[in-house]
């Protein structure tokens, strides 16, 4: 799973790394390269909030040509997809019980 990253130079001379799809994931570093490395940790940490709060993990939007991105580690990507599938199944089961369509 490739998540696009917005890199911006802030007023302190540091590069901010932010994810359009996961706004909770933000980090900063002295160089673009360091920011991208740290961005993976920020993304993983932000996803933990989605897991803990039983919220659907937003899937990554398409990375545009020339846009920076990070690859989510395979194990975390699998966890996110399984998490979403389990939540969707739970929502569907609940909807069926109360006779409400969830889609």
Tell me the pLDDT tens digit for each residue of 34-76: 999 999 999 999 999 999 999 999 999 999 999 999 999 999 9
For the chain, the helix, strand and coil percentages under 3-state DSSP, each to the nearest 5: 45, 20, 35
pLDDT value of residue 94: 60
- Count other C-beta atoms under 10 Å from residue 6's C-beta: 13
- In this model, does residue 91 exceed pLDDT 90? no
User: Exposed, middle or buried by CB within 10 Å (0-12, 13-18, 19+), for 16?
Assistant: middle
Dihedral pair phi/psi, residue 10, rounded to 5°: -90, 180
Out of 3.40.50, 3.30.160, 2.30.29, 3.10.100, the CATH code matching 2-56+65-97 is 3.30.160
Q: State pTM to two decimals.
A: 0.83
Which comes out higher in pLDDT, residue 88 or 78? 78
Buried b (16+ CB within 10 A) or exposed e, 44-69: bebbeebeeeeeebbebeeeeeeebb
Q: How far apart are CA 11 and CA 4, in angstroms?
A: 22
Please name the residue that has the structure tokens 């996803």: 47
């Amino acid at each position: 799973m490739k998540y696009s990253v917005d890199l911006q130079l802030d007023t302190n001379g540091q590069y901010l790394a932010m994810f359009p799809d996961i706004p909770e994931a933000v980090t900063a570093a002295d160089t673009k390269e360091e920011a991208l490395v740290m961005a993976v940790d920020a993304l993983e940490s932000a996803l933990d909030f989605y897991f803990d709060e039983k919220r659907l993990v937003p899937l990554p939007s398409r990375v545009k040509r020339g846009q920076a991105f990070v690859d989510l580690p395979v194990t975390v990507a699998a966890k996110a997809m399984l998490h979403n599938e389990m939540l969707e199944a739970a929502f569907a089961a609940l909807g069926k019980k109360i006779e409400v369509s969830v889609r």
